[in-house]
Chain A
Amino acid sequence: MQKLTAQQLQLKANDIRQDIIEMLLEAKSGHSAGPLGMADVFATLYFNILRHDPQNPSWVDRDKLVLSCGHICPVLYATMAEAGYFPKEELKTLRKLGTRLHGHPHNLALPGLENSSGPLGQGLSQAVGMALASRLDRTTGRIYAVCSDGEQDEGQIWEALMFAGKNKLHNLTVILDRNNIQIDGYTEDIMPLEPLKDKYEAFNFHVIEVDGHNYQQIIDACNEARAIYEKPTIIIAHTIPGKGVGFMEYDYKWHGSPPNKEQANQALNDLRTLRGMIQGEHQ
């Protein structure tokens, strides 16, 4: 696929955010803050970084995106639809009977989904297994695992990190959504995670910190990870939960809830105004 520039990515991420709001309004349940916060990272991955082909999702040498924190799947579905994996109209079926877009992703439901996830911590181990297989088969695809910060509470995450470090899985890039919230509150109140960078380094990872809304920083970090051969890489992407929708930003109450009709209208209004500003800037 053709790589989008940082400016084009800004518009693409805005489209994805609008899709997310519309999906959640229609579904009447689901997570808002995480998907909105990760829209810039997902736009960058699918429209600049990943080597993939929506027309041929099982291409052997593709890069694989493994979503470990399954609950933010609205951003994955919206991005995949924008990339052409399936028609955008289908986004409205999220969480409804007969849908391919389950409340948490199911690998067998939709071509292009690499794994099933929901119970936290599982996707990272799966990504490690895929990275091992890729090494055995000498395929060139990279494995990108997306984790949430609340997910770092799980012991399985640290088991997987230890193993990846031991085996120097340099074809693995982990992207951490560091938005500081989880369902019950702020991560540092629920179970403090810091100093995260030091912890990952102690587990033999190459660690890069980026502004998760700065396209160029995300692109540069992914490229740096490709160039590191001694270690797997983790990119700590600092994001604003609910990013782009004023009343949702930074508020953990939006972690696990969808907008109602009125709130959705306000959110879409925010996003459309933002889109106008982006376009204005670029003209």
Chain B
Amino acid sequence: MSQTNLEPVKISEKIGAADIEQKPTRDGYGEALVELGEKNPNVVVLTGDLSESTRAQAFQKKFPERFFEIGVAEQNMMGIAAGLALAGKIPFVSSYATFSPGRNWDQLRVSVVYSQANVKIAGAHTGVSVGPDGATHQALEDIAITRVLPGLVVLVPCDYLQTKQATLAAAAFKGPVYFRFTREKTPVMTLPETGFEIGKAQVFKEGKDVVVIGSGPVLYNALLAAAELEKQGISVMVLNNHTIKPIDSESIIAAAKKCGAVVTLEEHQINAGAGSAVCEVLSKNYPVPVEMVGMPDSFGESGEPAQLLEKFGMDAPAIKNAILKVIQRKVKNG
């Protein structure tokens, strides 16, 4: 495996700085929709009574004839999107991930993915960082139920800018795509030149002792943990594995070979999630010690986002602990 696969991309220089720009990922979705609406008359947007909070509203104002308010009826919404796509449209289905694909998974499976209908499913409000709304509205299973479907692309962009780019990339891709975003403002880690390509993981930070393979806004905590550990002489690579499917096996294997130990990170159930996808690749190709950071087989609860990430172990200290633990295992094995 050549090292060229692990060329770092350029990201913000303000990682860890108090004045790093903070923006909700969903804003990137809303802006991209308007951009797409201007460029492509086939782009249509559907929502189930959630146009404001999914940020579909800007598209609605600008292109009312291509915006469909379905009401609180997610199964019908997914089916209508499939019909629109089979007739040549590029529908974006906008809702909370707990409802879509949570509540309309059968429609996603048969009407969309099995039929290869060109539907884009935007799952908002994922992770415990949804906060005060509580467990019912914190999607922690959406990656598991989407990545299991044959031929469905699954994306987890890490910040506002990348969500915008992922939305544009999803529109350009021919076939069904699921992508998720979060509720709160989160640090904008990337730059316009960071780029985004479906299926191509990105090295956000170089390192050689251990690699954190993760996705979503929680990846910022990995960068914070890595910076701290660097001071202790531990070199941590951070790999932004934004495409859960089709997974970038090549980069994951190369990173595991280089570092010999892996920490997976996601704001999702550890079981069957993005980290499991990484383990599927590693166990088959290049087994190394792995620690998994994510939701520990538990539902969330109400609280402030930062409190919840701390309680359930997805903040920087938890990631740091996982890194130290996996390095110990690596030394023992070595």
Point out the residue from B80, B110, B114, B116 that lies within 8 Å of A132, measured CB to CB: B80
Chain B residues 126-148 with CB under 8 Å of chain A are none
Top-3 shortest CB links A-B:
A129-B83, A125-B79, A133-B87
Most B C-beta atoms less than 10 A away, residue of A118, A137, A156: A156
Most B C-beta atoms less than 10 A away, residue of A121, A124, A132: A132
- Shortest CB-to-CB span from A276 to chain B, Å, is 42
Chain B residues with CB under 8 A of A118:
110
In whole angstroms, how far apart are the Cα atoms of A114 and B88 in the complex? 12
- Shortest CB-to-CB span from B50 to chain A, Å, is 16
The answer to the question of A239 belonging to the interface, with a C-beta cut-off of 8 Å to chain B, is no
Pairwise interchain contact A116-B114, C-beta atoms closer than 8 A: yes
Contact with B along A102-146 (1 / 0, CB 8 A): 000011100000111111011111111111111011000000000
Of A3-11, A22-30, A159-167, A230-238, the one touching chain B? A159-167
The answer to the question of A280 belonging to the interface, with a C-beta cut-off of 8 Å to chain B, is no
Chain A residues 148-184 with CB under 8 Å of chain B are 155-156, 159-160, 162-163
- Shortest CB-to-CB span from B92 to chain A, Å, is 13
Task: Decide: A126 near B75, CB < 8 A? Known: A115-B115, A117-B110.
Answer: no
Pairwise interchain contact B86-A163, C-beta atoms closer than 8 A: no
A160 to chain B: closest residue by CB: B76
Pairwise interchain contact B111-A163, C-beta atoms closer than 8 A: no
B79 to chain A: closest residue by CB: A125
Point out the residue from B66, B75, B106, B116 that lies within 8 Å of A159, measured CB to CB: B75
Please, could you name 5 A-B residue pairs with CB atoms under 8 Å apart, sorted by A? Answer: A108-B116, A116-B115, A119-B110, A121-B79, A133-B84
Pairwise interchain contact A136-B111, C-beta atoms closer than 8 A: no
Number of A-B contacts (CB under 8 A): 103
Point out the residue from B65, B75, B84, B116 that lies within 8 Å of A129, measured CB to CB: B84
- Shortest CB-to-CB span from B75 to chain A, Å, is 4
The answer to the question of B89 belonging to the interface, with a C-beta cut-off of 8 Å to chain A, is yes
Q: A-side binding surface: helix, strand, loop or mixed?
A: helix
Pairwise interchain contact A136-B70, C-beta atoms closer than 8 A: no
Point out the residue from A66, A129, A131 that lies within 8 Å of B85, measured CB to CB: A129
Task: Decide: A129 near B79, CB < 8 A? Known: A116-B110, A117-B110, A122-B107.
Answer: yes
Point out the residue from A114, A121, A123, A162 that lies within 8 Å of B75, measured CB to CB: A121
- Shortest CB-to-CB span from A160 to chain B, Å, is 5
In whole angstroms, how far apart are the Cα atoms of A156 and B82 in the complex? 14
In whole angstroms, how far apart are the Cα atoms of A117 and B44 in the complex? 23
Pairwise interchain contact A129-B82, C-beta atoms closer than 8 A: yes
Point out the residue from B75, B86, B114 that lies within 8 Å of A156, measured CB to CB: B75
Point out the residue from A125, A133, A155 that lies within 8 Å of B111, measured CB to CB: A125
Chain A residues with CB under 8 A of B68:
132
In whole angstroms, how far apart are the Cα atoms of A136 and B66 in the complex? 8
B73 to chain A: closest residue by CB: A159
Binding site for B on A (CB under 8 A): 66, 106-108, 114-119, 121-134, 136-137, 155-156, 159-160, 162-163
Binding site for A on B (CB under 8 A): 44, 65-66, 68, 70-71, 73, 75-76, 78-89, 91, 106-107, 110-111, 114-116
Q: A123-B79, A130-B86 are in contact. List 9 more A-B contacts (CB 8 A).
A: A121-B75, A122-B110, A126-B86, A128-B79, A129-B83, A129-B84, A133-B84, A160-B76, A160-B80
Pairwise interchain contact A126-B82, C-beta atoms closer than 8 A: yes
In whole angstroms, how far apart are the Cα atoms of A117 and B115 in the complex? 9
In whole angstroms, how far apart are the Cα atoms of A191 and B161 in the complex? 51
Chain B residues with CB under 8 A of A108:
115-116
In whole angstroms, how far apart are the Cα atoms of A259 and B272 in the complex? 43
Chain A residues with CB under 8 A of B110:
116-119, 122
Q: B-side binding surface: helix, strand, loop or mixed?
A: helix
Pairwise interchain contact A125-B82, C-beta atoms closer than 8 A: yes
Pairwise interchain contact B87-A163, C-beta atoms closer than 8 A: no
- Shortest CB-to-CB span from A133 to chain B, Å, is 3
Point out the residue from A121, A132, A137, A159 that lies within 8 Å of B83, measured CB to CB: A132
In whole angstroms, how far apart are the Cα atoms of A122 and B76 in the complex? 8
Point out the residue from A66, A136, A156, A163 that lies within 8 Å of B89, measured CB to CB: A136
Pairwise interchain contact B81-A129, C-beta atoms closer than 8 A: yes
- Shortest CB-to-CB span from A171 to chain B, Å, is 12
A157 to chain B: closest residue by CB: B76
In whole angstroms, how far apart are the Cα atoms of A108 and B78 in the complex? 19
In whole angstroms, how far apart are the Cα atoms of A125 and B83 in the complex? 7
A166 to chain B: closest residue by CB: B71
Chain A residues with CB under 8 A of B86:
107, 114-115, 126, 129-130
Task: Decide: A126 near B73, CB < 8 A? Known: A133-B88, A134-B87.
Answer: no
A64 to chain B: closest residue by CB: B87
Point out the residue from A106, A107, A117, A132 that lies within 8 Å of B84, measured CB to CB: A132
In whole angstroms, how far apart are the Cα atoms of A117 and B76 in the complex? 14
In whole angstroms, how far apart are the Cα atoms of A155 and B77 in the complex? 13
Pairwise interchain contact A162-B73, C-beta atoms closer than 8 A: yes
Pairwise interchain contact A133-B83, C-beta atoms closer than 8 A: yes
Pairwise interchain contact A107-B115, C-beta atoms closer than 8 A: yes
Task: Decide: A116 near B111, CB < 8 A? Known: A132-B83, A155-B75.
Answer: yes
Point out the residue from A119, A124, A130 that lies within 8 Å of B87, measured CB to CB: A130
Chain A residues with CB under 8 A of B75:
121, 125, 155-156, 159
- Shortest CB-to-CB span from A134 to chain B, Å, is 7
Task: Decide: A130 near B115, CB < 8 A? Known: A124-B79, A125-B75, A160-B76.
Answer: no
Task: Decide: A122 near B80, CB < 8 A? Known: A137-B87, A159-B73.
Answer: no
In whole angstroms, how far apart are the Cα atoms of A164 and B114 in the complex? 25
Pairwise interchain contact A126-B83, C-beta atoms closer than 8 A: yes
Pairwise interchain contact A162-B71, C-beta atoms closer than 8 A: yes
Pairwise interchain contact A163-B80, C-beta atoms closer than 8 A: yes
